[in-house]
Amino acid sequence: MEICPKCGLPIPACVCSEIAKTQQQIDVRTEKRRFGKINTIISGFDDGVNIKDIAKQLKMKRACGGTVKNKVIELQGNHQGHIKQILIPMGFNEEQINE
């Protein structure tokens, strides 16, 4: 049986990702890009969370395109008021999400 090097629990019972989610300081902002297009930028993710899965869920729930670059999620369009309601059920702390 494999043991997690961070928490010392067996891999099936590892809680490192859940603890990491509650300790994130996430910043949500919009940015105007070329030709007047607006992107929503979600930053502040640390190691311990799977940022690609989070981006996939956000893109699916908001029905938009996006990408992950340098631990930053970029979504096409202005979704600033909706990101918090999606991240909270995923296990992130409401007080640590700045919109």
Structural domains of the chain, ranges and CATH numbers in brackets: 11-98 (3.30.780.10)
Q: Work out the number of other CB atoms within 10 angstroms of the CB of residue 97.
A: 19
Confidence (pLDDT) at 5: 79
Burial class (CB in 10 A: 0-12, 13-18, 19+), 65: exposed
pLDDT at 75 over 80: yes
pTM over 0.85: no
- Average pLDDT over all residues of the chain: 89
